[in-house]
Amino acid sequence: MARNALPVENSGTSPLCLFVEPYGEDYWLAPGEAFTVKPDGEGIDVWFSTYVSQDCIAVWLYEDGDPARVVLDHKVVDANGISLDCGHQRPRRPAGSEPI
């Protein structure tokens, strides 16, 4: 695993939301699934900041650990190295819960 990569694994029994900031992009991990968050470019020294709540992990990427230097270009890949799109495996809203 590269130093500038953050592995995230869902070892629970329910879906886990991985939120990548600052845009709030969501990627959903099924139980037992693992993703990796990393900068899209090479040669950037990225530090990760994580915030954990029930069923959700939020991740910020900072260049050189400086919170004023947010890394905007990132990618999330699955265990096979395939890049995932925002909303990957997002649960469907229950019927009747759509905004009016």
The dihedrals phi and psi of 75, each to the nearest 5 degrees, come to -145, 155
Paired tokens of 2: 């590269």
Q: Is the pLDDT of residue 75 over 60?
A: yes
Per-residue pLDDT, 84: 98
Q: Where are the domains of the chain?
A: 6-78
Per-residue pLDDT, 100: 58
Report which residue type is found at 13.
Answer: T
Per-residue pLDDT, 51: 95
When the pLDDT of each residue in the chain is averaged and rounded to a whole number, the result is 91
Q: Give the helix, strand, coil percentages of the chain, each rounded to 5.
A: 0, 45, 55
Distance CA 74, CA 37 (A): 7
Q: Mention every residue, 6+ apart, whose C-beta is less than 8 A from residue 71.
A: 39, 44, 46, 61, 62, 63
Instruction: Give the global pTM.
Output: 0.86
User: 12-60, pLDDT tens digit by residue?
Assistant: 999 999 999 999 999 999 999 999 999 998 888 999 999 999 899 999 9
Q: How far is CA 85 from CA 72, 77, 89, in A?
A: 15, 9, 9
